[in-house]
Amino acid sequence: MGRLQGQVALVTGGAGGLGRAIVERFIGEGARCAVLDRSAAGLAALEQAFGDKVAVIQGDVREAEVNDRAVALTLERFGTLDCFIGNAGLWDFNRPLVSLCGAELTAGFDELFGVNVLGYLHGARASAAALRQSGGSMIFTLSNAAHLPNGGGVLYTASKHAGVGLVRQLAYELAPNIRVNAVAPGGILTGLTGPASLGLNDRDIRSIGFETVADRIVPLGFIPTVEEYVPAYVFLAARAENVPATGMVLNYDGGLSIRGFMSPNGQEIAQ
Ligand SMILES: NC(=O)c1ccc[n+]([C@@H]2O[C@H](COP(=O)([O-])OP(=O)(O)OC[C@H]3O[C@@H](n4cnc5c(N)ncnc54)[C@H](O)[C@@H]3O)[C@@H](O)[C@H]2O)c1
């Protein structure tokens, strides 16, 4: 018997990277998953792999009506919704503010905040009634950039900091019926892309060579895989295992949030 037996989750950005790993693991734990993603190929691959355990909807998380349709499809196919996972995101490849002209800043802001913040709010809005009925929860993917500088540029960092406010305010507004929590992962080697408006849609985060410096940057000395991040989502979705949790942002980042000033792990000072 899986830890999420009989549960139903709706995952945005579930056709690739971390989201796809969440879907795989949730289904392995006995759940069924609806997935909202813009990638037709990624969604088709999910259907191929998981058959009637998944329901897919192609669209852009920035659109209110797409989120409404995703929740309606979830209820139609699976009869309930226990967990909304807001996860679809864009990165800004550390673009500094002064590298952006006025028009780029406006367009990049609209696109990146549209996906990373407005997309999460639309998902939360669309799923709230169903979650209230099931006594369910919301989980959002944030980042080390939700707490610290230099995990992105100012657009990404500000958008993930906004995610912390979103989690806390929604946890407050939706208590006691719906729990709202977040996972803040560190760097992961996924297909994470950037805003088309900044010309960053054809690159992904694997192109920056993070793996060549991870042992010097990450206190635990390695880059966790998507599969290693997913148990945090299982924990936050499994009702019996997180009874007191709401408004919580789980730092889950290989130690990036306790990285020291002089070295990542204090070894130089100890010698
Ligand atoms: N990769 C990392 O280093 C890292 C680190 C910390 C946090 N995160 C966060 O993890 C989350 C997932 O990212 P990932 O690394 O798995 O990237 P990914 O690109 O592999 O997966 C993201 C998915 O979201 C989808 N998507 C993007 N924009 C969309 C839109 N407007 N509408 C619908 N679907 C959309 C993509 O098609 C893709 O399937 C993001 O919120 C990201 O900020 C990633």
Q: How far is the CA of 268 from the centre of ligand 1 (A)?
A: 35
The CB of 37 under 6 Å from ligand 1? The reply is: yes
Q: How far is the CA of 87 from the centre of ligand 1 (A)?
A: 6
pLDDT digit string (tens) for 199-223?
999 999 999 988 888 888 899 999 9
Query: For residue 91, what pLDDT is reported?
Result: 98
Query: Annotated active-site positions, please?
Result: 156
Task: Please give the average per-residue pLDDT across 227-245, as a whole number.
Answer: 96
Backbone angles phi, psi at 252, to 5 degrees: -145, 65
- pLDDT over 70 (residue 54): yes
The CB of 15 under 6 Å from ligand 1? The reply is: yes
Q: How far is the CA of 63 from the centre of ligand 1 (A)?
A: 17
Report the residue among 12, 37, 200, 203 best suited for mutation to probe ligand 1: largest number of ligand atoms under 8 A from its CB: 37
How many C-beta neighbours within 10 Å does residue 221 have? 13
Residues 107, 161: Cα–Cα separation, whole Å: 19
- pLDDT over 60 (residue 270): no
The CB of 87 under 6 Å from ligand 1? The reply is: yes
Counting from 1 in the atom list of ligand 1, the atom nearest the Cα of 115 is: 31
Summary mean pLDDT of the chain: 96
Residues 8, 5: Cα–Cα separation, whole Å: 9
The CB of 17 under 6 Å from ligand 1? The reply is: yes
Residues 172, 124: Cα–Cα separation, whole Å: 13
Query: For residue 268, what pLDDT is reported?
Result: 64
Residues 34, 73: Cα–Cα separation, whole Å: 8
Give the 3-state DSSP-derived string for the chain, with helices as H, strands as E and coil as C.
Answer: CCCCCCCEEEEECCCCHHHHHHHHHHHHCCCEEEEEECCHHHHHHHHHHHHHHEEEEECCCCCHHHHHHHHHHHHHHHCCCCEEEECCCCCCCCCCHHHCCHHHHHHHHHHHHHHHHHHHHHHHHHHHHHHHHHCCEEEEECCHHHCCCCCCCHHHHHHHHHHHHHHHHHHHHHCCCCEEEEEEECCCCCCCCCCHHHCCCCCCHHHHCHHHCHHHHCCCCCCCCHHHHCHHHHHHHCHHHCCCCCCCEEEECCCHHHCCCCCCCCHHHHC
The CB of 192 under 6 Å from ligand 1? The reply is: yes
Q: Considering only the top CATH level, what class is 8-270? A: alpha beta
- pLDDT over 90 (residue 259): no
pLDDT digit string (tens) for 100-153?
999 999 999 999 999 999 999 999 999 999 999 999 999 999 999 999 999 999
- pLDDT over 90 (residue 269): no
Portion of the chain with pLDDT greater than 70, in percent:
98
Domain ranges, ordered by start, for the chain: 8-270
Q: Angle, nearest 10°, between helix axes 64-78 and 119-134?
A: 30
Amino acid at site 62: R
The CB of 13 under 6 Å from ligand 1? The reply is: yes
Report the residue among 10, 11, 12, 18 best suited for mutation to probe ligand 1: largest number of ligand atoms under 8 A from its CB: 18
